Amino acid sequence: MRQLALWVAFRFSRARQRNRFISFISASSTMGIALGVMVLITLLSAMNGFEQALKDKLLSVVPHGEVTAVRDPITDWYSYAGPLLSDPAYVAAAPFVKFNAMLERGGKMRAIEARGVDLDYEFGVSGIDQYLLPEPASTLVEDELWLGVGIAEHLGVDVGDKVMMLIPTLDPEMKMRPPERKLFTVKRLISMGGEMDARAALISIKTASELGGWDRGVQGIRFKFADVMQSPALIRAAAYEMPHYLYISDWTRTQGHLYSDIQLVRGIVYLVLTLVIAVASFNIVSTLVLAVQDKQSEIAILKTMGSSNGMIMRVFMFQGLFNGLLGSVIGSVLGVLLAGSLGDIAKFVESLTGQKLLDPEIYFIDFLPSLLQPSDVLATAIVAVVLSLLATLYPAWTASKVQPASVLGQTI
């Protein structure tokens, strides 16, 4: 019976083309479904791209997690971090010392957070070497400074220029004293994009320890984890292994708002465009209601030949499902093609308008990312088909209630 219902539905769909008004509504519903599916797949791919860029670029230089000593320095830091690295969840660890300071050059000043790093370990937890100008470096000696391009532009300095660092100091009575001064040479510029360029300032950990008052050890330890989403739990587990008073922080506290924004936009996009698909799907209701009116004689004949109400319902459900399937397939194909070309389309729009869609001084990337997930395509297509199927229920039920006697009597 299902094969018969499918064959009759196909014949009804072919015959429906003779009625131009019904065909127009049917085509509109199909194209509406296709458009909604295409846009939803494209935007979900863009959200996936932003999420992947967040993990690959921003979190390559932002610590996944770090512990910072409150009072006493962490002596022999590797004796605590080393055993943790035997766990595959902990990829790498590196010491650091940080303090607030001012940079001065030619009457211009800029507040910074100076961070002292040990390059023997730093490149294990950070990919900052990828963003150094004019070229990567393997050493960072006592009087050298790596500076974010945002700070360098504000101070008007370039590689090879000298800048004065002013470090605030306190006397034993916790009163401010004249700042300590140290002259640094800008050895490399750091160009990562976004806010990172406006606050990155790296010096050697030995120099930072001397200037920051952490001579007997280091101030904290940074960690890189195999799964960034497990950072909060892993950094707490690491801190519990250390006999120190520590501040605990992870990337979800410093950059988590970006990830939350991406997830929020993803949810809103999915909800809104699912409603768009639903509206297009329920145009099938209009199509089938008109089809039922147009095919009452055929329905009556089928019933007199022994067709059950269930069989009549299946005929019109299949007929409406054709629209949903066709729209889902067309939309999925176009969505996959558009998602794969999203970056090129963005560059073309930028070339026409002369403006960047994503300003690297505001965002951490300067391109429109796209990452197509087969699961998104499948889920979107299934949602469209299910909504189309739901839209067929009422018209199909109406068709099953047609009374052959009344219809054929009027015909006679």
Q: From first to last of the 412 residues of the chain, give the pLDDT tens digit.
A: 566 666 666 666 665 545 566 677 778 888 888 998 998 999 899 888 888 887 777 788 888 999 999 888 898 899 999 999 999 999 999 999 998 899 999 889 998 989 999 999 999 998 888 888 888 888 898 889 999 998 999 899 999 999 999 988 766 666 667 888 999 999 999 988 767 778 889 999 999 998 888 878 899 999 999 998 899 999 999 998 888 889 999 988 877 777 787 788 888 888 888 888 887 777 777 777 777 776 777 777 777 776 777 777 787 788 778 888 888 999 999 999 999 888 888 888 878 887 777 766 556 677 788 889 999 899 899 988 888 888 888 888 877 777 766 666 555 4
Other residues' Cβ atoms within 10 Å of the Cβ of residue 20: 9
Of 195, 226, 253, the position where a domain reaches its end is 253
On whether both 330 and 364 belong to a single domain, the answer is yes
Comparing C-alpha atoms, which of 30, 15, 22 is closest to residue 321? 30
The three state secondary structure string of 47-71 is HHHHHHHHHHHHHHHCCCEEEEECC
On whether both 294 and 407 belong to a single domain, the answer is yes
On whether both 204 and 321 belong to a single domain, the answer is no
Give the whole-angstrom CA distance, residue 199 versus residue 193.
11
3 state SS of 151: helix
On whether both 26 and 140 belong to a single domain, the answer is no
Of 233, 253, 273, the position where a domain reaches its end is 253
On whether both 276 and 197 belong to a single domain, the answer is no
Is the pTM above the cut of 0.85?
no
On whether both 274 and 370 belong to a single domain, the answer is yes
On whether both 214 and 195 belong to a single domain, the answer is yes
Name the amino acid, one letter, at 160: G
On whether both 298 and 185 belong to a single domain, the answer is no
Comparing C-alpha atoms, which of 16, 14, 35 is closest to residue 328? 35
Contacting residues for 187 by C-beta, under 8 A, at least 6 apart: 137, 140, 144, 145, 146, 159
Q: Please tell me the predicted confidence (pLDDT) of residue 3.
A: 66
User: Residue 112 belongs to what domain range?
Assistant: 63-253
On whether both 16 and 110 belong to a single domain, the answer is no
Q: Where are the alpha helices (DSSP H) in 17-103?
A: 20-53, 59-61, 78-84
Q: Please tell me the predicted confidence (pLDDT) of residue 61.
A: 83
Give the whole-angstrom CA distance, residue 213 versus residue 196.
26
Of 206, 227, 253, the position where a domain reaches its end is 253
Residues 338 and 38: beta-carbon distance below 8 Å = yes
On whether both 292 and 263 belong to a single domain, the answer is yes
On whether both 81 and 222 belong to a single domain, the answer is yes
Residues 75 and 141: beta-carbon distance below 8 Å = no
- Count of domains for the chain: 2
On whether both 82 and 47 belong to a single domain, the answer is no
